[in-house]
Structure 1
Amino acid sequence: MQVYEQNYAPFWDSLGWSALFAALPLLTLFALLGGLRWKAWKASLVALAVSLAVALAVYGMPLGQAVLAGTEGAAFGFMPILWIVLNAIWIYKLTELTGWDDVLRRAFGTLSGDQRVQAVIIAFCFGALLEALAGFGTPVAVSAAMLIALGLQPIKAAGVALVANTAPVAFGAIGVPITTLGEITGLDPAEVGAVVGRQTPVLAAVVPLVLVFMVDGRRGLRQTWPVALATGVAFGVAQFVSANYISYQIADIIAAFAGALAAIVVLRVWQPQKHTALVSSGGGGDAAAGEPAAERPSRGSALLSFAPYLIVVVLFAITTSGPVSDWLADHATWKWQWPGLHVVDSAGEALSATAFKFELLNGGTVLLLVGVLTAVLYRVGPMRALRAYGATFAQFRWTILTVMAVLALAYVMNFSGQTITLGLFLAQAGSVFALLSPVVGWLGVAVTGSDTSSNSLFGLLQLTAAQQTGLSAQLLAAGNSSGGVLGKMVSPQNLAIAAAVVGIEGREGELFRRVVGWSLGLLVLICLLVYLQSTPVLGWMVS
């Protein structure tokens, strides 16, 4: 098939006019999702059609090459991204099916009767573990439901779950957002993950304090800050260590355990000055007392309820260790050129992204094995387990279509040159772009609801801007992901999920107003951090 050579200023040889056309697919996606409130899968398909039209009519990309670029993106969207998500959610469905999720909830309730502490342990620590395994709204839904069951008011439970789902998002679903950045940009995902691990721990140290403030205002902050701070700092340190020295793929898993352990240790030697009496979903009650304490599960039951997550840690620790990882890379990984796709850059060099990599024992396959072991452990028969898997697939069928469409859109924009055009245009801001880099990621997640989707849309843009401004490519790519996590709490999809779970459908606007201030405030913090990391002031954090 005909080779396509990229041209970054195809319209009148003008970068500005070309950037205007290149932005049309993204503007379409934003308008349909954020303005007209279309379903995500419909908006993604229309935006994909617009990107194909721009690639053909403005950039002169052959139809065959444009379609093939989209098919490679869709394939990457399914394997490994959706493969990880489907298997992770299947594991949780098995715990729901057998009732062990309820045992786990009651076990959490016995750690402390204080709702402020419960918000930190459940929404932040356990939510991070769910984010590490599945992402895509699962932590928000599960955490909000558990907080309501423990007596928190519905609107507070939803708000707390949304804000808590920030610091872990960049490493969610076994590091898929970082893996996607590496695939899109050609950067080493381990290097990008290491830089993200030097940014999001700052959020981790702050978010638990925000959560106790949301539950009980200044009094809650004053009375429970030791356990909140200890949890956040332990989480952040563990996230940093894992992302930089172990594996970015299991950073959230290690951090979640470290944060929960820190909370338990502090609670063993210190208790909040006074437990707060808050109105529960049932109409009243003291947070210090209640049914969970009376239904304390045995240690054996509590451990068994947590067993699937322990199995995940063990298997990923094995498969990501040096010798095993090297063996898998040599014997269970295949890489080939996407059939028929021939694209070169403006210098005539072939794009590395035309190569597709398949790992037999990837994160999704490991989670599939965990699911099988979970079914055996909980005595779920093969047919029942298969029906649960089918139900998982059916439940997320539109999510599957959305993710594949967004990745196809990203690949069409990247291969045609649209994303590079936008990057060159924005790079005219010079070194100040480091301040704006997280904002780009925030916008992407606020609209798409996914850090993975935002990274796929804007990863190459960040790389192009870095090359033009002389800034660190790893820093700007990481800034896109770190800033993006703060858009998660205001995305229409997550707001709708949280509102539906707690039974306040139609009050998404009220929920938005509760969390948007925290979203923007924490975004400013990340913007300043990334900018300072681009200067000698904090440049040592990146080098």
Structure 2
Amino acid sequence: MYTQILDPVAGSLAWSSLVAAIPLIVLFVLLGILRMTAWLAALISLVVALAAAIFVYPMPAGPAFLAAAEGAAFGFFPILWIVINAIWIYNMTVHTGHFDVLRRSFSRVSDDQRIQGVIVAFSFGALLEALAGFGTPVAITSVMLIALGFRPLKAAVVALVANTAPVAFGALAVPITTLATVTGLPLHDLSAMVGRQTPLLGFIVPLALVFIIDGTRGVRQTWPVALVCGVVFAVAQFAISNYVSAPLTDIVASLLSAGAVVLFLRVWQPVEGFTETGGPEVTRTGAGTDGRAEAAATSTATIDRQAPRAGRDGPSFGGGDGATEAGRRDSGAEVFRAYSPYLIIIVVFGLAQIPAIQHALTSVTRTFAWPGLHIASASGKASTLPMFKFDWLAAAGTLLIIAGLITIPVIRIRPATALRTYFATYRQLAPAIVTVMAVLALAYVMNASGQTTTLGTWMAGAGGIFALISPILGWLGVAVTGSDTSSNSLFGALQVVAAQKAELSATLLAAANSSGGVLGKMISPQNLAIAAAAVGMSGREGDLFRRVFLWSVVFLAVMCVLVYLQSTPVLSWMVP
């Protein structure tokens, strides 16, 4: 059994933390500065993490590679298992043309891309996050935005930034329930505390989205609708998380925010519309924060090549030809079938929460120790990291397969075509699959060797000021693993220990781990790879990283200040 050592470098926690951070620094430099393809950057960083584990900590080579194998397996199941099956459902709707119907339905609500970005990326993305999580909303909403006329790069950036506020309560609040499990704190208290932090993000993110799409002019012209969406989402998220149910939080908040926008648009419209074409010209000069630079480098041919249309041979990304579809009205039955896959997903996931059905699904779940991997923490306690949970029937990805099978006859796609589409989805997501598995292998090596705990313990030594940097720990965890659930598993208990040492609220800091973590989602190589693959930009993850990094840091700074104020008499009344 390998026992973790937290200060292997000269007995110094600070120097050891510097070494422990090297794999992460390498990863972000390769992505953000050298613009290396994500899958290659992740593999190189994994090698660096293995070298640090074996030659510095020192962890025997056997357990180090076994930890990497477990991480890669976890990356595929349950994370990629969700994304692949969600994209499969989407691809089937593209093949049958129902995605075009859905796109036209969204465009009829408003033909203004700034408003479409808020509805699709934020409200609809929040619903997808609530039901599945783990990259699903980024994958689906980014291609929906392309179908509405967004450039691929901008579509991916909007989808990534939008996937923040709902994340803590995503996948039916799995991050919160996991946090309660690892910390031993009451689920309701944690849900209530997170529900008094993330609504601030829900309030400001829609405004950030219209700024990304159309700059300051977009904010000036569309702030009323962005404000309505953000306020309704924030109030609903607070109310449901505090007084109703954590798993229902994002479902209710997303539906109410979308409904509020639709109703508001009946009495208000922006003074000037905005539509950015797929070619080098923009309908309004200077539009968007990346409009001119991207327009100069992007052509219609490039857009078409990156987002090919659906055809008889299989699935692809993108929508129909706007010129030939202008003014087309779809029948009520067509619109219903277009929405049916998502309605089916809601029903399937909702039924899965019924106690009797939930028990039947989990009755075949198997949890086992990863063969050959035995780890003890620095305190001598056996680590739970080698325990692998294989809930093959209850997993969100499996529920998506069930929803997909039900969808097949509803959207009238041939079973053989659906099967070909399924295998084509694996080929389409191949780079993302390699990236996600490599990043999770990296995370598991760092966790198993003690590198992650070294970083966390060093940061926890800040004393009372730790409340200010507490969200950063969660942000770091999600940036590495791509999952708020995984970050809570890594650092949840550490946040409680640090809170006790600094005489701060354990509930506050544990919740801060989850709330700060959601802001690391947009810079996670896992999510960057999913977004890039979804919009046909595999290999340009570094471009996405640079576009979203500043947003991630700015939002994180806001969250850090909020948590710090909640630890002081100024806002301590917000802590349950």
- TM norm structure 1: 0.82
8 Å contact 2:142–2:156 — kept in the other structure?
A: yes
Which structure shows the bigger proportion of residues in helix conformation? 1
8 Å contact 2:176–2:191 — kept in the other structure?
A: yes
Offset at residue 365 of structure 1 (A): 1.2
Residue correspondence of structure 1 range 259-408 to structure 2 within 5 A: 259-268=257-266, 270-272=267-269, 274-276=271-273, 280-281=277-278, 294-325=327-358, 328-329=361-362, 331-359=363-391, 360-408=393-441
Distance change >3 Å, CA 56–CA 187, structure 1 → 2? farther
Offset at residue 29 of structure 1 (A): 2.3
Q: What do the CA deviations read for 1:149-202 (whole angstroms, capped 9, x no partner)?
A: 545677765654444333234445666766776798888888766544432221
Which moved further from structure 2: 303-312 or 146-155? Answer: 146-155
Q: Distance in 2 between matches of 1:63 and 1:306?
A: 51
Q: What do the CA deviations read for 1:98-137 (whole angstroms, capped 9, x no partner)?
A: 1111100000111134444323212322233344456676
8 Å contact 1:250–1:316 — kept in the other structure?
A: no
8 Å contact 1:414–1:460 — kept in the other structure?
A: no
Q: What do the CA deviations read for 1:384-421 (whole angstroms, capped 9, x no partner)?
A: 21211111112222322322222222222222222222
Q: Distance in 1 between matches of 2:112 and 2:543?
A: 26
Aligned to 1:429: 462
8 Å contact 1:150–1:292 — kept in the other structure?
A: no
Which moved further from structure 2: 457-466 or 293-302? Answer: 457-466
8 Å contact 2:428–2:533 — kept in the other structure?
A: no
Q: Distance in 2 between matches of 1:474 and 1:397?
A: 40
Distance change >3 Å, CA 387–CA 12, structure 1 → 2? same
SS of the residue 1:118 aligns to: helix
Which moved further from structure 2: 177-186 or 104-113? Answer: 177-186
Q: Distance in 1 between matches of 2:31 and 2:494?
A: 21
8 Å contact 2:79–2:134 — kept in the other structure?
A: no
Q: Distance in 2 between matches of 1:55 and 1:147?
A: 42
Aligned to 2:41: 43
Superposition RMSD on alpha carbons, in Å?
4.1
Q: Distance in 1 between matches of 2:37 and 2:177?
A: 26
Distance change >3 Å, CA 246–CA 317, structure 1 → 2? farther
Which moved further from structure 2: 59-68 or 240-249? Answer: 240-249
Distance change >3 Å, CA 37–CA 174, structure 1 → 2? farther
Question: Letter of the aligned partner of 1:128 in structure 2?
Answer: A
Match of 2:234 among 230, 233, 236: 236
Distance change >3 Å, CA 247–CA 285, structure 1 → 2? same
8 Å contact 1:87–1:364 — kept in the other structure?
A: yes
Q: Distance in 2 between matches of 1:352 and 1:222?
A: 51
Unpaired stretches in structure 1, ≥5 consecutive residues: none
Aligned to 1:526: 559
Distance change >3 Å, CA 406–CA 475, structure 1 → 2? farther
Offset at residue 257 of structure 1 (A): 1.8
Question: Letter of the aligned partner of 1:339 in structure 2?
Answer: P
SS of the residue 2:385 aligns to: helix
Q: Distance in 2 between matches of 1:503 and 1:13?
A: 47
Q: What do the CA deviations read for 1:38-60 (whole angstroms, capped 9, x no partner)?
A: 33222323333333333333333
Q: Distance in 2 between matches of 1:146 and 1:123?
A: 9
Distance change >3 Å, CA 242–CA 299, structure 1 → 2? farther
Which moved further from structure 2: 483-492 or 411-420? Answer: 483-492
Mapped pair 1:57 → 2:55: yes
Distance change >3 Å, CA 394–CA 414, structure 1 → 2? same
Distance change >3 Å, CA 281–CA 381, structure 1 → 2? closer
Residue correspondence of structure 1 range 476-491 to structure 2 within 5 A: 476-489=509-522
Aligned to 2:291: none
Question: Letter of the aligned partner of 1:8 in structure 2?
Answer: L
Distance change >3 Å, CA 362–CA 189, structure 1 → 2? farther
Offset at residue 525 of structure 1 (A): 1.7
Q: Distance in 2 between matches of 1:251 and 1:432?
A: 31
Distance change >3 Å, CA 81–CA 277, structure 1 → 2? closer
8 Å contact 2:32–2:543 — kept in the other structure?
A: no
Q: Distance in 2 between matches of 1:177 and 1:204?
A: 17
Offset at residue 362 of structure 1 (A): 1.8
SS of the residue 2:462 aligns to: helix
Question: Letter of the aligned partner of 1:346 in structure 2?
Answer: A
Q: Distance in 1 between matches of 2:539 and 2:45?
A: 27
Distance change >3 Å, CA 6–CA 119, structure 1 → 2? closer
Identity %: 58
Q: How many residues align?
A: 538
Q: What do the CA deviations read for 1:224-266 (whole angstroms, capped 9, x no partner)?
A: 4443222222223343455556665564444322211111222
Distance change >3 Å, CA 32–CA 194, structure 1 → 2? farther
Q: Distance in 2 between matches of 1:30 and 1:12?
A: 27
Distance change >3 Å, CA 514–CA 367, structure 1 → 2? closer
